[in-house]
Structure 1
Amino acid sequence: MEELQDFSEKKESSFDLKAELYKYLKYWYWLVIGCLLGLAVAYLYNRYTIPEYATEASMMILSKEDNNVVGALPSGGASVLSLQQNTLDNQIETLKSKRLVEKVVDELDLNVSYFMEGKVIAVEVYKNPPVVIEFLSPEEVVHEATLDIFISPKTKDTYTLTEEDSEYSKVHKYGEPVKLQGVEFTISPSGNEADFSNTVNIKVQPLRNVANDYVYRMSIYPKGEAKDILSLYVVGAVPEKSRDFLNTLMLYFNQDGVADKRQVAENTAAFIQERLEIISGELDSVEGGIADFKKENRIMDVASSAGEYMSKSSQAEQRIFELETQLMILDALKDALTSAKPYRLLPSNMGAAEGGISSLISEYNTLVLERNAYLKTSTPKNPVVEGITEELDALKDNLLDNIESSKRSINIQLRELNQLDRRAEGQFSTFPGLEKGMRSIERQQQIKEQLYLFLLQRREESAISFAATGPVAKVIDPAFTYNNPVDPEPWLILTGGGVIGFIFPLLVIFVINFLDTKVHHKGDLKPLTDHVPFLGEIPKVAGDQNEVIQV
């Protein structure tokens, strides 16, 4: 047992690094060939793989103070027209919304791609393709179409159109209507006949699929100390197409934001105009009542006779005016909510509503804008639209409850103030009843005048806001493309190809040596026979040689 143990220990300690290295280095030419083959494959991959480049743009999200001219008015009237300040996350979601991206894809015709067929790969041609496809079918059909056709020049006036999926192949004249897959179109030369020597592959994809692809490939993240700058990043094989996409996306984002703000301003102006017409009629009626009262009772100067009373009770009456004005505005908001036209924008911050009501109105307007945006591309039966409608109904009920609660609170205050006013009037019980009746009519006149002037001021601010609506964002850097491709990375591919080409022969040699159990020379037995005398070697004659070798 001790001899076997010593023998095992000698076997474990008999590793010869030089001999092991020689097993691999004697096949050095295979290592060199493998490395060269790996480099060659990596070179061909770099050469024939279409590179993709990163394109970036940046824009600053402007606050409402930056772009609202009405904010400079001393009255603070800008609050009635301003939308609730959105967070940066909301702006990012808007930029990545499928609705906005689909508009950009449609504007730039990014759902149609042209490829020039080469010997190995097809290269996309973005701006100046040799031929152009013009659709005769309606837009809604084209936006859902899928086509993959090949255009090969035949003569000066004809071409061969091939579609592999349907095995369609036919000669057509340029400008001749063609109908495939339910889509009618024409093919016309663009004037670049010199470039029209190879086959052109035209691919038409559904608009929604292309938009989804851009949303997936686009990254948006905030930067800057204030985190108010957004960096837009997209990767694509055609840098010019990526630049056009980002620049147009920022343009449409601005236009979309301005349109929303103007829509709120327009609805607010319309609401104010309706109230002005009503208040104007009521004011005319009150003023006519004053004239009739004076004429019937032959009164010329009621103000001088009631001056002392008015000076003592002015503070209480002023508060009554304010509360009654708030009641009228709350009634107007309630009328707007319960009008025959549902889900329309409400005037925001009319100056009388409590903070809770103002925040609910802002939330209601935001949902109305979102619902209207979805209705442009879908129907009211759309699950998303139905969900928004349910939220609007819940908000409407909540608003009505808050309005009723505010009215109850105001009525309680009015009762208390009227009691105080009546006590003050008791001090002047000797005043003729005629004076009291006149004062009541004048109070109604003042309330109507205050509300009328208030609405006139808001109407002017609404007109200024509509005319001077500023952009919601400022472009810091237009889209630009980095020079180095992000995929593939040439040096990384070459390095990886060389390393893999070098390692592969090593693995093959290792497997061969690992599976080799033959004895090739006395060195293979030396670790096992150090204690056994060596007698000699028997040479091996290669091939069919019969030559006798004497030793």
Structure 2
Amino acid sequence: MEMNSNNPYFGQEDDNVDFKHEIKRYLRYWPWFALAIFIALSGAYLYLRYSPRIYQTVTKIKILDEADGLELPSSAFIFKRSNINLENEIEILNSYRIIEDVVKKLNLNTTFFEEGQIQTSQMAELPFSFKQRIQVDSILTSMQYEIYVDSDKFEITNLKTEKSITFPNHDSYLKSHRLPFDIKVYDTSDLQAIIGKTYIVKFTPLKSTVLSLKNRIKTEAIGDQSHLLKLTIKGESPKWSEMVLDSLVGTFNQDGIDDRREVFLTTTRFIDDRFEYLAFELDSIEDNKQEFKQRNNLVFLPSDAELGIQKRSKSEEEVFRIESQLALADLIEDALKDQDFSDGLLPSNIGIESGGINELISQYNSAILERNKYVVSGGVNNPMVKQLNATIADLKNNINQSLVSYKSQLQASKKQLDARDRKFRGEVSQLPLQEKLLREIDRQQQIKESLYLFLFQKREEAAINYEITEPSIKVVEYALSGSNPISPKPNIVYAAAILGGLLLPFASLYLFFMLDTKVHDKRDVEKAVKNVPIIGQIPEVKDKDGLIFENPNDRSILAESFRILSSNVRYVLPKNNNNVGQVIFCTSTIKGEGKTYVSINLSLALSSLNKKVLLIGADLRNPQIHAYSTKDKNALGLSNYLHDFKLDWKDMLIKGFKNHQTHDVLLSGSIPPNPAHLLTNGRFDSLIEEAKKLYDYIIVDTAPTILVTDTMLISHLADTNVYIVKANFTEKNLLEFSKELVESGKLKNMAYVVNSVGASKSRGYGYNYGYGYGYSDQS
């Protein structure tokens, strides 16, 4: 009988993943998934129950243009910035200097905690009076003190030295001590709420506190075109966070105000210095004028020179204006030459009519202020300080060059006016020389008086602006904390717990399956070896007393599985046209896979069908059939027949199973030293030929194929080869050896039998035949 390609027992060429099978394989372990999810959810609950609540606090501010303060109509800006660089503002806001001021102002390097049964939470302040006795800058190392509130006293413990001190009546002022703080309960009505509680006071060095706070505060711009900044901080105490952000905003605002006030103060000091000089010059001019008039008896100008004098007056006004500008330019040059004057700041906008010079002075003052800030926070070697020094030097050089150019222009204009003035003087040449000199004195007096009044006006403007300096920022939204904590988030924690509870067992099982190298059922065989039929799966039998199919009428799962196997064996056997017995070899790759067990039970299953069956033990090296009978291991058998030509194999047959009268057994016999030689001496071939005439089926229990060549030497005698693979025992890579035997033709008409299916639950394949239709399970 030829093997049909449509035989349902042949493995199919299917490399697709069987998702249904994969899902069932994992679902078999659903209790592990349920347990993992339960543990994960329990852990998530405990985490949410005892983890600290983290709140987010946000404040928003708008950076303002530094607009004018009070300014009279005759002047321009004292200090102006047309653009706002938010990146610079963020850097200043987050600078060590600003945050250090906040830490010192709020005493932030002293923190308070309330100790609970499970966790310790931060507090903004203690529920009783606390006064720190140590200066902020004096805290050089970390210190922690535990305060236990008893019914009638405080008990304070230094956690570093573990030394304790008690203060009766909840008042540390009544007892001498060396603690860095004092505490006292003023309102005894609040005492009951804190009795039995423990609080911790922690002192941290200033630098580490500033750096820690600097890292916790996040500042970012809102939008691309707006001048809004958002400041964010996260912490356990919303009150503490709000206090920190509001103080930071206030400190930053005051810092900007102080910068502008410094410019106004510098301008006031500069004008005050010039007042002394101008007052002295005005007094000198007044004295000279008085002396000149008295010496020359000058009281009234001739009326006939009035018209000429009017023309000259207009010309002199122009000259006066130019000379005023020259005087102001000289003042600026003098200030530039004075390197130590007011930390290098220049008087801004004191009347110079050149817009370029005024703009350069404003940029110069801004650069000086920015450099001074970086010097305070980073030192003189700070790269930004060096860069700003270079910028200041360039601006100073530009101002000098602009003043030189401006004065040159004024001198040229003055030269033209002088020429015109000489023309007018010619027209009034009849006037006395004394009148000419008097005019010059009056002109000098007017110049000095105008300059004096102008500077006085600017001094008043600077003084007023100093007092009413506008803020640097506008608070859009004061520090506000969310009502719900941002961490932990229950939805995310529980979702992560469920996901983790699913993934952990899944990953463990996946890893276990991936590292599993054993064969577990026919699916593993089908994947490894294609187009070789699998004619049976034998279930695992844990009852060692029920391993043998002794009762022909047995309806147990084991008996039915071997009945199925016997039916499938007859299906794969070639068609028998000679009415002779058929030979079935039972072999395996290595020992221990159950070939003897399958050989015996297969032979008994065929015998239960009223067929004459002969079971031959051909594994001469490690015989096992005798273990299932009452015969001794060294009883006469096949090896004796093959060795002694005088013996007849029929005389060595035994009835090993009393309920199977058509079943005979030929044991292996004594273990010979040369099994391969005996099997190939021709006697075994003769035995098979004789037995085929006497029996319907000859079942041969052969040696494992990978260990010895015995089976290969006699494989030509088999009509079919039943190859045994044991679940949870046979390595998958050993299937390659049996596959090579088929492909090379060494074992013809081979079929697999998977033994002990259900021995391992690791793949999720149980062995469920579902028998019982019209039967009862009984041996």
TM-score normalised according to structure 2 size: 0.61
Q: Cα–Cα, structure 1 residues 276 and 43, in superposed 2: closer, same or farther, change >3 Å?
A: same
- Say yes or no: does 1:161 pair with 2:157: yes
- C-alpha distance in 2 between matches for 1:450 and 1:296: 27
**Residues in 1 aligned to 2:380 and 2:231: alpha-carbon distance in whole angstroms:** 33
What residue is the counterpart of 1:343 in the other structure? 343
Residues 207-216 or 247-256, more deviating: 207-216
What pairs up with 1:7-406 in 2 under 5 angstroms? 10-13=12-15, 15-65=17-67, 68-71=68-71, 73-75=72-74, 77=75, 79-80=77-78, 82-85=79-82, 87-89=84-86, 90-129=88-127, 132=130, 134-136=132-134, 138-142=135-139, 144-152=140-148, 156-157=152-153, 159-164=155-160, 167-171=161-165, 173=167, 174-175=172-173, 185-190=180-185, 193=191, 194-195=193-194, 197-223=196-222, 227-302=226-301, 306-339=305-338, 341=341, 343-352=343-352, 354-370=354-370, 373=373, 395-396=395-396, 399-406=399-406
Higher relative contact order (CA 8 A, sep 6+): 1
Alignment gaps of 5+ in structure 2:
550-558, 560-779
Say which SS state the counterpart of residue 122 (structure 2) adopts: strand
CA distance in 2, matches of 1:200, 1:311: 90
Distance between the aligned counterparts of 2:475 and 2:251, measured in 1? 12
One-letter amino acid matched to 2:198: T
Secondary structure in 1 aligned to 2:181? Answer: strand
- 1:476-523 CA-partner distances (Å, limit 9, x unpaired): 221111233333332122212211210111122222333334344445
What are the ranges of 5 or more consecutive residues in structure 1 without an aligned counterpart?
A: none
Q: Which residue of 2 aligns with 1:430?
A: 430
For residues 493 and 426 of structure 1, the distance between their equivalents in structure 2, rounded to whole angstroms, comes to: 101
Q: How many residues align?
A: 533
SS of 1:70's partner is coil
Summarize deviations over 1:49-80 as a string: whole Å, max 9, x none.
32322222222333344xx4514x433x3513
Q: 1:299 is aligned with what amino acid?
A: L
Question: 2 CA distance for matches of 1:21 and 1:514?
Answer: 15
Give the C-alpha shift of residue 127 in structure 1.
Answer: 2.4
Residue matched to 1:471: 471
Letter in 2 for 1:147: M
Question: Is 352-361 or 530-539 further displaced after alignment?
Answer: 530-539
Distance 1:390 1:531 in 2: 87
What's the offset of the Cα at 1:160?
Answer: 4.3
Equivalent-residue separation in structure 2 for 1:491 and 1:413 (angstroms) = 82
| SS of equivalent to 1:57 | strand
Mapped to 2, the partners of 1:395 and 1:534 lie a distance apart of: 95
Aligned partner of 2:163: which letter? S
User: Per-residue deviation at 1:398?
Assistant: 5.1
Change (3 A) 1:18 1:140: closer
Deviations 1:166-210 (A, max 9, x none): x5434355456766xxxx613424556442534333222232333
Offset of residue 530 of structure 1: 8.0
Q: Relative to 1, partners in 2 of residues 1:40 and 1:163: Cα closer, same or farther, differing over 3 Å?
A: same
* Bigger proportion of residues as helix: 1
**For 1:483 and 1:151, how far apart are their aligned partners in 2?**
30
Structure-1 separation of matches of 2:116 and 2:123: 12
Q: How does 1:454-469 map to 2 (within 5 A)?
A: 454-469=454-469
- Give the distance between the partners of 2:92 and 2:303, measured in 1 at CA: 62
Change (3 A) 1:477 1:217: same
Q: Which has the larger radius of gyration?
A: 2
Please give the secondary structure, in 2, of the residue aligned with 1:484: coil
Instruction: Give the aligned partner of residue 448 of structure 2.
Output: 448
Structure 1 residues 269 and 517: alpha-carbon distance in aligned structure 2, compared to 1, 3 A threshold: closer
Q: Is the 8 A contact 1:14 1:527 kept in 2?
A: no
- The CA distance in 1 between the partners of 2:378 and 2:521, in whole Å, is 84
Letter in 2 for 1:317: E
SS at match of 1:452: helix
8 Å CA contact 1:178–1:186 kept in 2: the answer is: no
SS in 2 for 1:538: strand
My pick for the range that moved more, 244-253 or 370-379, is 370-379
The answer to whether the 8 A contact 2:76-2:349 is kept is no
For residues 92 and 159 of structure 1, what CA distance do their matches in structure 2 show? 45
Counterparts of 1:241 and 1:327, CA distance in 2: 59
> CA 1:157 to 1:384, structure 2 compared with 1: closer, same or farther past 3 Å?
farther
Mapped partners of 2:329, 2:271: distance in 1: 14
1:85 CA displacement: 4.5
Per mean C-alpha deviation after superposition, the further-off stretch among 243-252 and 296-305 is 296-305
Indicate if the aligned counterparts of 1:279 and 1:452 stay in contact, CA closer than 8 A: yes
CA distance in 2, matches of 1:333, 1:8: 107
The CA deviation at 1:307 is: 3.3
Q: 1:403 to 1:190 in 2, by over 3 A?
A: farther
1:222/1:124 CA distance change after superposition, 3 Å: same
Q: 1:546 to 1:224 in 2, by over 3 A?
A: closer
SS at match of 2:12: helix
Q: Check conservation: 2:59, 2:230, Cα contact below 8 A.
A: yes
**Structure 1 residues 384 and 74 mapped into 2: Cα distance closer, same or farther (>3 Å)?**
closer
Counterpart residue type for residue 499 of structure 1: L
